[in-house]
């Protein structure tokens, strides 16, 4: 692991860690045993340029701040890519230097858009399904 930025415990009793320096997310048991990892350096689906904050929804879908690509990527609990949003900029749904993210119990996503000095709020897709 190289410069872990965030860690979250899922309701599946697994620990999800953003591995900033290795451009990936790692998954462990709560006892620290390695399970798997996903991601690599780049700009395609499932690739990162320094993953910072991560969040989990009630289905253990993973929301990852892809700092260098100015986007949020969403994966299932096994690391399969689901969707993404965001581009560089200052408009709605655009980011500059995004770091923190949470998903609340009502299905809203809050993103710390550090470079734009704001918090953006979004709705989780398919939260009730």
Work out whether strand 118-123 and strand 108-113 pair parallel, antiparallel, or are unpaired.
antiparallel
Q: How confident is the model at residue 21, as a pLDDT? A: 95
Let me know the angle formed at the C-alpha of 26 by 109 and 59, rounded to the nearest 5 degrees: 40
The CATH number that applies at residue 67 is: 2.120.10.30
Per-residue tokens: 34: 């390695």
Residue 114: domain span: 4-123
* Rounded Cα distance, 32 and 98, in Å: 28
Q: How confident is the model at residue 47, as a pLDDT? A: 98
Inside any domain, residue 21: yes
Q: How confident is the model at residue 128, as a pLDDT? A: 54
Inside any domain, residue 128: no
Q: How confident is the model at residue 124, as a pLDDT? A: 83
Inside any domain, residue 22: yes
Number of domains making up the chain? 1
Q: How confident is the model at residue 125, as a pLDDT? A: 75
CB neighbourhood size of 103 (10 A): 20
Inside any domain, residue 129: no
Q: Note down pLDDT in tens along the chain; length 129 residues.
A: 999 999 999 999 999 999 999 999 999 999 999 999 999 999 999 999 999 999 999 999 999 999 999 999 999 999 999 999 999 999 999 999 999 999 999 999 999 999 999 999 999 877 654
* Rounded Cα distance, 53 and 119, in Å: 13
């Amino acid at each position: 692991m190289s410069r872990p930025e965030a860690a979250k415990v899922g309701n599946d009793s697994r620990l999800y860690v953003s591995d900033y320096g290795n451009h990936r997310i790692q998954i462990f048991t709560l006892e620290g045993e390695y399970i798997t990892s996903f991601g690599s350096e780049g700009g395609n689906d499932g690739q990162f340029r320094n993953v910072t904050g991560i969040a989990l929804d009630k289905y253990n879908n993973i929301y990852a701040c892809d700092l260098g690509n100015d986007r949020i990527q969403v994966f299932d609990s096994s690391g399969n890519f689901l969707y993404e949003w965001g581009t560089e900029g200052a408009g709605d749904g655009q980011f500059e230097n995004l770091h923190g993210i949470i998903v609340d119990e009502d299905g809203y996503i809050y993103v710390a858009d550090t470079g734009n000095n704001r918090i953006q709020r979004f709705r989780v897709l398919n939260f009730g399904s």
